[in-house]
Structure 1
Amino acid sequence: MGERASLQSIRSSVRGAVARARLLFAFKTALAVGIAWSIAPLMPGAADQYPYYAPFGALISMYPTLMSSARSSLQTLLGLGAGVGLAALVLLTVGPSLWSIVAVVGLGTLISGTGWFGIGKEYIPMAALFVLIIGGSDAEDYSFGYVTQTAVGAMVGLAVNLIIPPAPLVSEAAAQIDAFQQRLAVHLHDIGDALTESWPPTHDEWMRDASALAETSRSLRGALSEADESRRGNPRARRGRGDTEHEHARLEMLDSIAHQIRDIAGCLSDTISQRPVAFPLDPALEQPLSRACHAVAELLDADEHPDDLHAEASVAVDELLRTVHSRSIESDSVLGPGVLSAMHLQRILLMLEPAEETAGKAVEKTAEKGGEASSEDQRSP
């Protein structure tokens, strides 16, 4: 199981590296660096003596989204300007020396901690150090060339990103959410399989993997935020600006489902590990609980006929609830794992209800409220 997970992780990483969006990004980055290097010698004044900073500027301006490219370019140039300003202050006063260089780097590091310069904070002490050490006696020309060529490269990068705008990252985020949904289904299948093994089950990967579901959910929220940002200012995303609303709603639902599955896994894990807080699992519940887990997992992973699968899952969960009820009466005891698992599976079913059925229930509730209001109106004098 561990080797299979490792291979899947490697394949996923390789697919991400050679995905169409990543290949386009690599091509644009290389193109921007090449153009910046080509035009760097054409810069006026002393700037043509420092052409290598133009491709550097192009490189730091290239990000997967237009807004992040613009923001990082501006922040980097502001950071460079602040660093050059600190170096100029030293040159106009005490001059470069061991102690002044140490002091200006320390001061630049302190300023970078303010958070005012974003990603450009790293370049404040760096620019001050470069001006004082590399610039030397030609610090003025070096500062001009450094900032000018970096700005030229950044503008080239932004121009390339505007001419060849990146595709919105909505489809990538949606694919990750699909994978998360399939992973939740596999997790429920694993629990169902474990329940039908010899007790206590040795198939316990689901117990170790349960805590990773929350981390996956957090990473998906980051992917969705990046997808939202990829649409801002993007000519390829002018239509349908609410395209991520469906993905946000799906992630909220799957996050809630993940909480239910984690609770099922945690409860059964307590029972298997015989922790002090655990309740024993009645052997009569193992088969119906396993069938209910598999049925809900099939529904969660459904591509076709979700209505039929929802009906089958509802029957399996109802059977589990009836068994829990009858065994509770017969044994005159609280069947903790069975009760909690049945409740969580029932909640998952409610979240996965077909849209038509959910809408129908909403209409019925509205009609009921309207009928109650009419009755009250008739009773009033």
Structure 2
Amino acid sequence: MSRTRTMTALRAGSARALRAVGGSLRAAVLPGRLLFAVKTAAAVGIAWLLGSLLPGETDRYSYYAPLGALVSMYPTLMSSVRSSLQTLLGLAVGVGIAAVVVLTVGPSLWSTVVAVAVGTLISGTGWFGIGREYIPMAALFVLIIGGTDAEDYSLGYVLQMAIGVVVGLGVNLLIPPAPLVSEAVERIDAFQHRLAEHLHDIADAVADAEPSDHGVWEQDAHSLAETSRTLRGALAEADESRRGNPRAWLRHTDTSREHARLELLAETAYQIRDISGSLSDSILERPSGLPLDAGIVEPLSDACRAVAELLAADDDLPRHRQAATDAVQELLHAVHRRSIDTDAVTGPGVLTAMHLQRIVQLLEPDEDDEDDDDAAEGSDEAQSR
């Protein structure tokens, strides 16, 4: 029996790993990402073509133009502009360091080492953003590849990179990227359903308390905090994608509600992690765990499932909220009864009930949201008339 349960847990873990890989692959081929790949390829090709048409010696370094295009291509317009300017500034400083060496002691092993060291120190000031990496690189390239022809090389290097940057920015302006708000919202939705799924896993683990089955959901609990941090970054990037973007001007999307929702889910994740940690300590009989009274297993499991259903609910929210409230209250009553019957505090039950009650309270709709929903319904009714 134990072996069967272990195999079930392994299959569940493998299924989750496959879902995670599938999610990563889907993210790589989203329409916005595919458009970005096509734009990047087009910018590289155009930059290389234009770079090879420059007069004089500069066309010898046309391979730097595609690099400049790559540097300037970012999923958001503001990031593209910022990274492009920072890169050109870093290149100019690096070439300037190399020029000082060429005009004084000349290129050599020791002068190149010193130039790279100076460039590395300057890059650590934090003034150049992504361009900091190009300061010692530009100095190194000019002194090693340029050598005695450092002047022509420096001109060609900077000019070709600048052409690539201009082409990349032009492509991004001509075909502006779509704001990333909808993608961020989808990821927040997925996170909410993942929290519900984790509560279901806890309910199953408590109802079938076999230590070998708990590796998967216990590990998942530790990843919830990392997921919430990642989503904060995704939402910040979504806000960045709207800045200066003509496609965002038409929508006027306000992400304040999504920020508030993410903070609510992050707090919910914290509550769930605390439940998971306490119950795993009890089930696995760790020194820090308190005994899990068999008399509260069923109401505890039911309460977890009811709150999970509330988290995952897309409609009929009042019914799910009432069911979750009733289930948590039943758990509290069961804890109270068992505490009297056994003359002992049922610690895991008390802690779980407190956290589940807190989650139900967090999921209470705000008055502003209700007003917005009422206004939307009124607008729909007016339009239908």
**What is the TM-score when the length of structure 1 is the normalising length?**
0.90
Structure 2 partner of 1:168:
179
Measure, in 2, the Cα distance between the counterparts of 1:63 and 1:154: 11
Amino acid at match of 1:141: D
Q: 1:136 aligns with which of 123, 132, 147?
A: 147
Measure, in 2, the Cα distance between the counterparts of 1:227 and 1:359: 25
Taking only the aligned residue pairs, the percentage that are identical comes to 65
Q: 2:104 aligns with which of 66, 70, 93?
A: 93
Amino acid at match of 2:140: L
The yes-or-no answer on 1:284 pairing with 2:304 is no
Structure 1 partner of 2:264:
253
The yes-or-no answer on 1:83 pairing with 2:112 is no
Q: Note closer, same or farther for the CA distance 1:238–1:199 as it changes in structure 2 (3 Å cut).
A: same
Q: 1:67 aligns with which of 78, 95, 105?
A: 78
The yes-or-no answer on 1:10 pairing with 2:10 is no
Structure 2 partner of 1:47:
58
Structure 2 partner of 1:230:
241
Structure 2 partner of 1:119:
130
Q: Note closer, same or farther for the CA distance 1:70–1:316 as it changes in structure 2 (3 Å cut).
A: same
Measure, in 2, the Cα distance between the counterparts of 1:226 and 1:137: 45
Where does structure 1 differ by over 3 angstroms across 4 or more consecutive aligned residues?
198-204, 239-242, 354-360
* C-alpha distance after superposition, 1:265-290 (max 9, x if no partner): 11111212323332211111000000
Q: Any unmatched runs of 5+ in structure 2? A: 1-11, 372-385
Q: CA deviation at 1:110?
A: 1.5
Q: CA deviation at 1:330?
A: 2.2
2:199–2:308 contact (8 Å) kept in structure 1 = yes
Deviates more, 1:289-298 or 1:34-43: 34-43
Deviates more, 1:46-55 or 1:73-82: 46-55
1:295–1:313 contact (8 Å) kept in structure 2 = yes
Measure, in 2, the Cα distance between the counterparts of 1:248 and 1:334: 39
Q: Note closer, same or farther for the CA distance 1:92–1:199 as it changes in structure 2 (3 Å cut).
A: closer
Deviates more, 1:328-337 or 1:245-254: 328-337
Deviates more, 1:150-159 or 1:318-327: 318-327
Q: CA deviation at 1:357?
A: 11
Measure, in 1, the Cα distance between the counterparts of 2:324 and 2:290: 25
RMSD, aligned CA: 1.8
Matched positions, count? 360
Measure, in 1, the Cα distance between the counterparts of 2:369 and 2:253: 23
Amino acid at match of 1:193: D
1:307–1:354 contact (8 Å) kept in structure 2 = no
Deviates more, 1:153-162 or 1:200-209: 200-209
Structure 2 partner of 1:31:
42
Q: 2:221 aligns with which of 187, 203, 210?
A: 210
SS of 1:88's equivalent? helix
1:46–1:144 contact (8 Å) kept in structure 2 = no
Measure, in 2, the Cα distance between the counterparts of 1:277 and 1:306: 37
Q: Any unmatched runs of 5+ in structure 1? A: 361-381
Deviates more, 1:66-75 or 1:275-284: 275-284
The yes-or-no answer on 1:351 pairing with 2:362 is yes
Measure, in 2, the Cα distance between the counterparts of 1:76 and 1:202: 52
Q: 1:318 aligns with which of 329, 338, 350?
A: 329
Measure, in 2, the Cα distance between the counterparts of 1:50 and 1:207: 55
Amino acid at match of 1:296: V
Structure 2 partner of 1:363:
none
Structure 1 partner of 2:310:
299
Structure 1 partner of 2:383:
none
Measure, in 2, the Cα distance between the counterparts of 1:189 and 1:312: 15
Measure, in 2, the Cα distance between the counterparts of 1:181 and 1:51: 49
Measure, in 1, the Cα distance between the counterparts of 2:214 and 2:110: 64
